Amino acid sequence: MKRTLGVCYYPEHWSRDLWEEDARRMAALGLTWVRIGEFAWSRLEAVEGTYTFEWLDEAIAVLKAAGLKVVLGTPTATPPRWMVDKYPDMLARDVEGRDRKFGSRRHYCFSHEGYKAECARIVTALAERYGGGAISSKEIDPNSFEEFGSVDAWQTDNEYGCHDTTLSYSDAAQEAFRGWLARRYNGIEALNAAWGNVFWSMDYASFDDIDLPNLTVTEPNPAHVMAFRRFSSDQVVAFNKLQADIIRQHSDAPIAHNYMGRVTEFDHFDVGDDLDIASWDSYPLGFLEDRVGADAARQTAYARQGDPDFQAFHHDLYRAVGKGRWWVMEQQPGPVNWAPYNPEPLPGMVRLWSWEAFAHGAEAVCYFRWRQAPFAQEQMHAGLLRPDSVEAQGFAEASDVAQELAEAPEVSVAKAPVALVFDYAAEWGWEIQPHGAGNSYFGLVFDTYAALRRLGLSIDIVPAEADAIAGYKLILAPGLLTPEPAFLSALGKSGAEVILGPRFGARTADMSTPVPLPPAVPGLDVTVAQVESLRPGLEIPLAKGGHVTRHRDVLAGFTPVMEETEDGQAVMVEQDGLAYLGGWLDDEAMGRVLGAACSRAGIATLQMPEGVRCRETETERFWFNYGSTAAQIGDQELPPAGVLRETL
């Protein structure tokens, strides 16, 4: 696979006389891909039923004439004002029942049938026009558009779930939810039994009696909330599939969607089943400020570099979502505008972020955006060019990457020795019942991932599916609330060292506590007799060092103990390569436990210097320095924001 670069471009934002020069400069920079169109509905259909495609025809022709490839986005993340006037009930409602109004983006509910029909109409028009081969048009010079009419890839919508837009409490969502429940449960009595509605007299006589799980006096039934979360995810999947199916009727070009960092309200694996490529939008500095979960000291230490593991985590996650094919569709090139604080990247970091993506198997890295907008909400978001078209900081680093790529070998992703399971339904379950302030499934899995990276390891993130865990030496499934029987069976047959827990198998699909009590794993004589959450300052010291923090499963049973508290209570037990870890460990304890597991599995580890990480492909080992000081790698010095490539 050849690694390529790209950029996000908005020709509708700029004077027509800039387009050729922009395209020439993009090509000279060494870019391959240009994404366009994903927010352009009002320019494509300013009046209902009247399409104005000519400007887009011309933009595609200009870009392709310069030797560039075009990714065309469907514009359904930004329905125009006339659409909202036509369907005022298409707006999503927040948990407080307030409309998410027109005036920004993503102002729609995934369940609104009228809006979905309008989306199908505009996507059909685009796919018919740009889906394949030369397109006849009397209004366009036959030497331009007819030659360059079809696009090279597609993007559906834009950033599903961004701005908390997966969950909608609208009338359309309520009607669709009731239908979804009727299909899922064989009668209302089956639902009442599955949800435990005998508790607090919550029984229903009809599916039409069931409201959405918001605005209740105290917390709603966790089974009700989980059903709503599953439904909401399914609505995103169906919305995306509608568009993908239409595009495939007219185009053979690959289809992608651009996911976000730590947006987990829908199942990305399910969405990815209908796409060819997973992509994501990587904003390391913004994400460190608003979603990584780092403390203030760590935010300050890495303010200009980003968290050393957050980008890599999502690279590995979306490689799995894309079944091996994935891009960065938007890469931060300078300061952003939307985080609590928006510093400038340390010189060299744009290059580092780009190469780190390629080391994890990215086919393309596309920078956001070509030219900084001088108007509207994102005018303080840097691009490769300033608003006056002068090169900005990221331009030079993108140029460096392009020149380095020209001499780089093609990349082949190597299977990692370690598999880390990630499950979206487990994330929803933990959100519904965190049991302790700040506890989250994502946080637990991410802490595990970061600890593995500090041991110098490459990791594959995999779904909780039986066929996804074969061939690994070490498999970890922290916090997986509802493992399927086939997955449990595959774990037992994997031949790998396996570490489960905490909270493994702790809930049924309807958020009840199963009996036998968890983890109920064949081959492990251990039972979670009780659970507790731990406030800051209540950490439990371990006999070998480090602490249990945040959450502890109180274990009972006779399996040999690997880790215990200072007063002799079991925290980790193990039998024949299958271990249960009954606590959320701090960095010291987690590093020791994972290092010992790697030793048992025959996996070599290396203690990384602070801020340094590595990743292996089939032919190369990459080293990245997120730190603010130089680090010694063998006989070579790796400067801050440095990248080192070694041939294996």
Is the pLDDT at 148 greater than 90? The verdict is no
The predicted model gives 399-425 an average pLDDT of 94
Cα–Cα distance between 107 and 115 in angstroms, integer? 11
Cβ neighbours of residue 404 closer than 8 Å, sequence gap 6 or more: 355
Tokens at residue 88, please?
A: 């005022």
Q: How much is the pLDDT for 142? A: 38
The predicted model gives 281-304 an average pLDDT of 98
Binned at pLDDT 50, 70 and 90, residue 412 comes out as confident
Taking CA atoms, 559 is separated from 152, 523, 563, 565, in Å, by: 57, 9, 12, 16
Residue 549, exposed/middle/buried by CB under 10 A (0-12, 13-18, 19+)?
Answer: buried
3-state helix, strand, coil in the chain (%, to 5): 35, 20, 45
105 CB-side CA count, 13 A: 19
Crossing angle of the two packed helices 222-250 and 424-432, in degrees rounded to 10: 150
Share of the chain above pLDDT 70, in %: 97
List the one residue out of 325, 215, 223 whose CA is nearest residue 278: 325
The DSSP string of 267-320 is -HHHHHTT-SEEEEEE-HHHHHHHTS---HHHHHHTTTT--TTHHHHHHHHHHH
Radius of gyration of the chain (CA): 25
Cα–Cα distance between 191 and 228 in angstroms, integer? 13
Cα–Cα distance between 549 and 313 in angstroms, integer? 22
566 an active-site residue? no
**Which residues are paired to 282 by β-bridges?**
331
Binned at pLDDT 50, 70 and 90, residue 41 comes out as very high
Q: How much is the pLDDT for 138? A: 37
Binned at pLDDT 50, 70 and 90, residue 518 comes out as very high
Is the pLDDT at 604 greater than 50? The verdict is yes
Binned at pLDDT 50, 70 and 90, residue 2 comes out as confident
Strand, helix or coil for residue 48 = coil
Is the pLDDT at 134 greater than 50? The verdict is no
Crossing angle of the two packed helices 349-359 and 393-406, in degrees rounded to 10: 40
Cβ neighbours of residue 562 closer than 8 Å, sequence gap 6 or more: 572, 573, 574, 579, 593, 596
In tens, the pLDDT along 359-387 reads 999 999 999 999 999 999 999 999 999 99
Which DSSP state fits 513? P
In tens, the pLDDT along 89-109 reads 999 999 999 999 999 999 999
Cα–Cα distance between 56 and 59 in angstroms, integer? 5
Cα–Cα distance between 316 and 460 in angstroms, integer? 6
Q: How much is the pLDDT for 410? A: 82
Is the pLDDT at 15 greater than 90? The verdict is yes
Binned at pLDDT 50, 70 and 90, residue 130 comes out as very high
**Which residues are paired to 419 by β-bridges?**
460, 475
CB 606, CB 455: distance < 8 Å = yes
Cα–Cα distance between 230 and 426 in angstroms, integer? 11
Q: How much is the pLDDT for 411? A: 79
Cα–Cα distance between 621 and 638 in angstroms, integer? 14
Is the pLDDT at 177 greater than 50? The verdict is yes
Tokens at residue 309, please?
A: 């593991």
Catalytic residue among 118, 159, 497, 574: 159
Is the pLDDT at 145 greater than 60? The verdict is no
Tokens at residue 548, please?
A: 């249990």
Cα–Cα distance between 57 and 596 in angstroms, integer? 59
Tokens at residue 638, please?
A: 């790796």
Q: How much is the pLDDT for 267? A: 98
Catalytic residue among 289, 330, 397, 563: 330
Q: Are strands 153-155 and 255-259 parallel, antiparallel or unpaired?
A: parallel
CB 114, CB 175: distance < 8 Å = no
Give the 3-state DSSP-derived string for 138-190, with helices as H, strands as E and coil as C.
CCCCCCCHHHHCCCCEEECCCCCCCCCCCCCCCHHHHHHHHHHHHHHCCCHHH
CB 418, CB 473: distance < 8 Å = yes
Is the pLDDT at 140 greater than 60? The verdict is no
The predicted model gives 164-173 an average pLDDT of 98
Single-letter amino acid, residue 365:
V
618 an active-site residue? no
List the one residue out of 7, 82, 81, 52 whose CA is nearest residue 327: 7
Binned at pLDDT 50, 70 and 90, residue 147 comes out as low
Cα–Cα distance between 370 and 386 in angstroms, integer? 9
Q: Which residue has the tokens 């393309």?
A: 364
Q: How much is the pLDDT for 132? A: 83
CB 639, CB 625: distance < 8 Å = yes
Q: Which residue has the tokens 């039934």?
A: 221
Cβ neighbours of residue 298 closer than 8 Å, sequence gap 6 or more: 307
Single-letter amino acid, residue 296:
A
Start-to-end CA span in the chain (Å)? 18
pTM for the predicted model, two decimal places: 0.97
The predicted model gives 245-264 an average pLDDT of 97
- Domains annotated on the chain, with CATH: 4-163+230-406 (3.20.20.80), 171-228 (no CATH), 418-601 (3.40.50.880), 612-647 (no CATH)
CB 552, CB 583: distance < 8 Å = yes
Q: How much is the pLDDT for 139? A: 45
CB 330, CB 366: distance < 8 Å = yes
Sign of CA dihedral 387, 389, 390, 396: positive
